[in-house]
Amino acid sequence: MTEAGGGSRIDRTEKRVIWIAVLFTAASLALVGYATWGLGINVPTCMPESKAFERGSIAKIGEKHYEIHFLAEMWTFEPKRVRVPAGSTLEIYVTSKDVTHGFQIQNTNVNLMAEPGVVTNGRVRITKPGIYPIICHEYCGVAHENMNAILEVSSEAAEISAEGLPSTEAGRRIMEAKGCLACHSLDGSPGVGPSFKGIWGQKVELADGTTRVVDAAFVKEKILNPEQNTVKGFPPVMPKLGLTQEEIDQIENFLEDMK
């Protein structure tokens, strides 16, 4: 009788443990779901394979999906102010040009360290319009308290925009807007047209057998008269872009900076 009773008690204890484990697992999954869909906290899919970047930048990688590279430097962030549409998913990458800095987007889950030679990243989706201050929470020198930036989430914005980017970045944004980067890569990979990587200052052979150096004069001629100066091995499909002289200058600055 004693053994039978003891066995019954053991069975009841095992059942309690199993039920507790089931409830704990369900609660954990519910919390993970709430963090993901309720708070917008996600684990980034990967880190960039390239070395730490040397300037801030913004790029569109999908519908309301953007990548932002923040470069920290005493005592500022680059870009200084970023404006995105409400409901955007942001892939945030951060590095430092000098010393260790903190990087926190207030009222979000993004809280990173910006370290020299290291890229850290996070992801956030923000649906509520408003101003989200970005602060450095790691003491970095005498002007530490002045190191900040702004993330503006707007229901009126159609695409991402930024202030405080290097002047050459304006040329990249123009080429993105005009569709140039759909045919010309920035990393040397083949495309419909020649890659922009390292092309500035290089001699290229044209379809008519002549050669030209890719410089400001060549780029301007190609933009204004795309049917001319076709590079050998590539189809003559470049459209007229209707750019101003200022926009052409910005593209030239960007290409020269890539050499």
CATH number of 168-257: 1.10.760.10
Strand 161-163 with 81-85, pairing: antiparallel
pLDDT at 39: 58
Instruction: Give the closest residue to 81 by CA, choosing from 158, 150, 171, 4.
Output: 150
Say which range, 10-24, 55-69, 225-239, has the weakest mean pLDDT: 10-24
Q: Looking at the whole model, is its pTM more than 0.85?
A: no
pLDDT in tens, 179-231: 898 999 988 888 899 999 889 999 999 999 999 999 999 999 999 999 988 99
Question: What CATH architecture does domain 57-165 belong to?
Answer: Sandwich (2.60)
Say which range, 7-11, 130-134, 186-190, has the weakest mean pLDDT: 7-11
Q: For the chain, what's the residue count?
A: 259
pLDDT at 5: 54
Peptide bond between residue 79 and the one before it cis (omega within 30 degrees of 0):
yes
Residue 35 in this model has a pLDDT that exceeds 80? no
Instruction: Give the closest residue to 128 by CA, choosing from 112, 148, 110, 151.
Output: 151
Rounded to an integer, the average pLDDT of 250-257 is 86
Please name the residues in contact with 172: beta carbons below 8 A apart, sequence gap of 6 or more.
57, 254
pLDDT in tens, 59-83: 888 999 999 999 999 999 999 999 9
Strand 130-135 with 148-154, pairing: antiparallel
Instruction: Give the closest residue to 51 by CA, choosing from 95, 113, 110.
Output: 95
User: Which of 17-21, 55-59, 138-142 has maximum average pLDDT?
Assistant: 138-142
Say which range, 39-48, 112-121, 219-228, has the weakest mean pLDDT: 39-48
Residue 140 in this model has a pLDDT that exceeds 90? yes
- Find the helix or strand (DSSP H, E) in which 163 lies: strand 161-163
| 24 token code pair | 């704990």
Place 38 in a pLDDT band, splitting at 50, 70 and 90.
low
Rounded to an integer, the average pLDDT of 245-256 is 88
Contact in structure between 118 and 52 (CB atoms under 8 Å): yes
Residue 133 in this model has a pLDDT that exceeds 60? yes
pLDDT at 180: 92
The pLDDT > 70 percentage for the chain reads 89
Q: Distance (Å, rounded) from C-alpha 31 to C-alpha 112?
A: 22
Q: Distance (Å, rounded) from C-alpha 25 to C-alpha 120?
A: 31
Peptide bond between residue 200 and the one before it cis (omega within 30 degrees of 0):
no
Residue 41 in this model has a pLDDT that exceeds 60? no
- Find the helix or strand (DSSP H, E) in which 245 lies: helix 245-257
Place of tokens 């484990």: 21
Q: In this predicted model, which residue has the larger pLDDT, 35 or 136?
A: 136
